[in-house]
A and B are shown apart, each in its own frame.
Chain A
């Protein structure tokens, strides 16, 4: 099938493949350790693994947006901060 009319690009494909990988990882994780590992977060409410992934992705998007808004430095720095942010979310939230 020819999808060239949709003008897909490799970076977009990598972006969505990464998200797909996260979802597959979470599914496998859930099958291995069911229940979603709920715990009371530092934010004062209960979170599961899915919540943590959602927060990480949404937070990463905002980190990139604010990075672009506030500085003209390379966006890879924002990417690094986003990874640190995701690690923190999965560790403490």
Chain B
């Protein structure tokens, strides 16, 4: 019998990465934990505050509002982007010159930096110089994202859909392309309808990429900062102040390091739990489909 040689020397090769990650991620995270239990009045003078900031943040209506807005935003954009992405992916050509054209067109919004996307929509929606805002005003529609919370929400949502649906499309398209022709031929012989092909062949085959798409879009939207900050700055009032915007306001605007650190940790815990749930579901779906075939 061949004895498998165990050699742990490779761990030393990982040491530089470990040190870099410790310096750039682990220690900063530890610093946040450290700040969350202290109070400061500047000058780098800190005093012990225990769990006081956590109590304050958990009971603060400001945090509850920002959290609910964040959940609502992520829920809305997922409800739009996922079905829309599937529909576009299904409509895209599978061969011919249309494939590269569609793929490049779809990839374009993903290549634009977040702050540029924000600026594009900030100008696009303006009533005085923006194409969208001006056109809507000419049509007699009262649209002003600077003053009207509903208009601000619509602008931020449409912008996110414009920016990120492509990601869902590309993932779904990759999933659709991986389905062998034999499945479609079998469906044709059985006389399956278009809906049945979608329900029993395409959707199950897309399940894994769809979960990845949902995970990525949920995480990204849950941490969204730059685009709404550039477009609305969190306004009008606090109507588009999502968690990350509120966090930055607190940490940098007000320099309230203690509460901001406590809020970061709660925010981090929510993301960690959701990521873990998604990851567990994803890996189990993978295992099931492996076992099923």
Contact = CB atoms under 8 A, between A and B. Distances in A.
Interface stretch (B28-36, B126-134, B138-146): B28-36
A9 B49 CA distance: 11
B37 A68 contact: no
B37 A9 contact: yes
- Interface on chain A toward B: helix, strand, loop, or mixed SS? helix
A65 B58 CA distance: 8
A38 to B, nearest CB: 12
B272 A7 contact: no
A61 B37 contact: no
Interface string A18-49: 00000000000000000000000000111000
A83 interface: no
Interface residues on A, range: 20 to 34
Contact of A12 (B33, B40, B287): B33
B266 interface: yes
A9 B33 CA distance: 10
A65 B54 contact: yes
A45 B55 CA distance: 35
Contact of A16 (B30, B37, B59, B287): B30
A12 B273 contact: no
Given A8-B34, A12-B34, A75-B51, A62 B273 contact: yes
Contacts of A6: 31, 34
A65 B34 contact: no
B59 A62 contact: no
Contacts of B37: 9, 11-12
A68 B55 contact: yes
Given A7-B46, A58-B276, A62-B269, A68 B54 contact: yes
B48 interface: yes
A68 B51 contact: yes
Contacts of A12: 30, 33-34, 37
Contacts of A9: 34, 37-38, 46, 48
B178 interface: no
Interface string B275-293: 0100010011001000000
Interface string A49-75: 000001000100110010011000001
23 contacts: A7-B35, A7-B38, A7-B40, A7-B44, A8-B34, A11-B37, A12-B33, A12-B37, A16-B30, A16-B33, A45-B280, A45-B283, A45-B284, A54-B276, A58-B273, A58-B276, A62-B269, A65-B54, A68-B51, A68-B54, A68-B58, A69-B58, A75-B51
Given A54-B276, A65-B58, 5 more contacts: A7-B44, A12-B37, A45-B283, A58-B269, A65-B269
Closest 6 CB pairs between A and B? A7-B46, A12-B34, A69-B58, A45-B284, A68-B55, A61-B269
Interface of A: 5-9, 11-12, 15-16, 44-46, 54, 58, 61-62, 65, 68-69, 75
